[in-house]
A and B are shown apart, each in its own frame.
Chain A
Amino acid sequence: MADGLKLGDRIFSSRLLLGTGKFSSTDAMIRAVRASGAELVTVALRRFHPGRPVDDVLAPLAAIEGLTLVPNTSGARDAGEAVRAAQLGRELCGSPFVKLEIHPNPHHLLPDPIETYEAAKILVGEGFLVLPYMPADPVLARRLEDLGCAAVMPLGAAIGSGQGLTTMSMLKLIIRDASVPVIVDAGLRSPSDAALTMEIGGDAVLVNSAIAAAENPELMASAFAAAVRAGRDAWKAGLMPQSDVAVATSPLTGFLAGGEAG
């Protein structure tokens, strides 16, 4: 695979990850997942409901071929709860991945850096491929990388806020210094946000609300997929540098080219 997203020992061709909450129906969610071409989808352990097809999100996702499930620990308030949720998620899903998500405040849902770090330490030790959702903090990103996390997932803005990349300057630092993939998660509103993330060198994006809350989630999912591909291609092609001043066609220093003669 020429340009794969490498997470642990696994390589994925799609750089768009999908969250599976907030959809109007399981059917609408499945159609969006298919349209997105995503190979990794996160699924909340708290929404697993074995034996209740009308309420369970796990079984219909597990039936899609080529899809890797990433159980998430959303709802956990501290490291202990997250670790227990991750263990049960692995038991039920059989996936090596866990999206580590700890938000002690149930209203703004921002991640707790301290509990996330503590839980990541335990889960890496237990052999999980840990994808930690985290504040866009370059120091924390390196700390989590040093622990052995398979990627880091800094937020673009608060979950569900649709504010776009409000943490842009920190994201650029994280991307510049990371040796593991940087997956920007949360806050993205439009495909152009996703394209921009990829253009600045982000390795992947995770989108949920922007697709689930769209008037046509299926179409929005394919729009995000196209934007992620375009942004990735743009990054590979190399963007021309920005400049604050016009660049003269005849350079001002052209007269220096001829050497000392004349």
Chain B
Amino acid sequence: MSAAPADWLDPLPWLDLARVADPSMVERSLRANEPGVREFAALLSPAAASRMEALAQRALALTRRHFGRAISLYAPLYLSNYCPARCTYCGFSAGLRIARHKLTPAELEAELSALKDLGIEEVLLLTGDRATVADYPFVRDSVRLAAARFPNVAVEVFPMSVDEYRGLSVAGCTAVTLYQETYDPVRYEHSHLSGPKRDYHSRLDAPARALAGGIRVAGLGALLGLGEPRFDLLSLFQHATHLRRTFWKGGVAISFPRLRPEPGGYTAAFPVDQKFLAQAIFAFRICLPDVPLLLSTRESPRFRDGMAGVGISKMSVASRTTVGGYDLETVPSGQQFDINDHRGVTTFCAALEAKGLQPVFKNWDAAYREDTASVRAGNARQI
């Protein structure tokens, strides 16, 4: 279980630099033409924290260059909150006595319609860990339903085999998001008490299997707070660059989920404050300028508005983290984590526009895929 991480992942050679880089190394990293892991480590350092404005300015310029003055939007949709895994930090954890529910196809249709009515065009489908009630065929069929109406369908579910990912891709899945939670094998073991999710290595290799199975984009992330943040962020950086080297056609995206201090909630072993989170996002933008960086509604409106376009290029909006949260308000279901930005689509888009950013809902078209004759016909009819 606690086997050493693979060579490509090992953050240890850079960890000291991330902790004690001197100001001159920070300046050099800010000006580097081709920043790599060395510069990334320096930009994570305490010394770099005193150069936040310079980091932000560079992040803004690079985000604008690669993504324009635009923010892509998506919304999560929980398919099921059944979960066989006991994870210390999660609201869906197996031992918790919460209302459990799994969407029927009709309920999923209703949820998709509710999202469509909000103007959403990219949906992220979520479940708990692999469960007999919410298994691979359930996810695949849900993707197929969603893909008939949404150009972009991503999943954030459980690790799968290459063949399963290939099946998802054929069903219309465009992206797979799978957070390693923490890259520290020991911390990982402490946070994942039972269930399939205990397998650190199967999870670690899943994004590579997804790309091998034809999924276009692998979304990575660490649940910040579970492990030592600089260790996790360096590993995340290494994971992203490793995937890019291995799959030259593969897209990589990075999210920044953070365990926030919640009254009465789970206490993070390594709490990450807002300022360090911003620093980490700037460091990723500077060193991986063309990788989409995502921020969810876990964060507050003020933080989200501040980060939009300054490193962050893609955001969720109007999120509900309960099963049936958009349409089926009568279905009892626990939520996975607390939302801190409750603004609706219109209010959030107005905030983006006030910052000179264009909200982009549709940035893909099902017509690109094979076997989409029915979708094409539908699109053409609307005009």
Point out residues on A near B: beta carbons under 8 Å: 21-26, 28, 45-52, 54-55, 75-77, 80-81, 84-85, 88, 91-92, 104-109, 160-162, 209, 212-213
Contacts and interface: CB of A to CB of B under 8 A. Distances in A.
A55 B119 contact: yes
Can you list the 6 inter-chain pairs with the closest CB atoms, starting with the nearest? A22-B68, A24-B69, A106-B251, A88-B367, A107-B290, A50-B383
Contacts of B119: 52, 54-55
Contacts of A85: 365, 367-368
Contacts of A88: 365, 367, 376, 379-380
Contacts of A84: 367-370, 372
B111 interface: no
Chain A interface mostly: loop
A213 B65 contact: yes
A75 B72 CA distance: 15
Contacts of A212: 68-69
B70 interface: yes
B363 interface: yes
A52 B362 CA distance: 10
Contacts of B359: 54-55
A22 B70 CA distance: 6
B198 interface: no
Nearest to A58: B383
A3 B363 CA distance: 37
Interface stretch (B162-170, B258-266, B271-279, B350-358): B350-358
A75 B376 CA distance: 17
A18 to B, nearest CB: 14
A213 B291 contact: no
B249 interface: yes
Contacts of A51: 382-383
A212 B357 CA distance: 11
Contacts of A108: 290
A26 B382 CA distance: 20
Contacts of B368: 45-46, 75-76, 81, 84-85
Most A C-beta atoms less than 10 A away, residue of B248, B367, B369, B380: B367
B382 A50 contact: yes
A10 B65 CA distance: 33
B216 interface: yes
18 contacts: A24-B356, A24-B358, A46-B363, A46-B365, A46-B368, A47-B362, A52-B362, A54-B119, A54-B349, A55-B119, A55-B362, A84-B370, A88-B367, A106-B251, A160-B66, A212-B69, A213-B65, A213-B68
Contacts of B353: 25
Contacts of B11: none
Contact of B151 (A46, A50, A54): A46
Given A22-B70, A88-B367, A212-B68, A105 B249 contact: yes
A47 B360 contact: yes
Contacts of B383: 50-51, 92
B232 interface: no
Contact of A107 (B121, B251, B370): B251
B67 interface: yes
A46 B70 CA distance: 15
Interface string B237-253: 00000001000110110
Nearest to B362: A49
A142 B119 CA distance: 45
Given A23-B70, A88-B367, A162 B290 contact: no
A209 B64 CA distance: 9
Given A23-B358, A52-B362, A104-B248, A81 B65 contact: no
A49 B366 CA distance: 12
Nearest to B360: A55
A77 B174 CA distance: 13
Contacts of A54: 119, 349, 359, 361
Contacts of B251: 106-107
A135 to B, nearest CB: 15
B364 interface: yes
A77 B365 contact: no
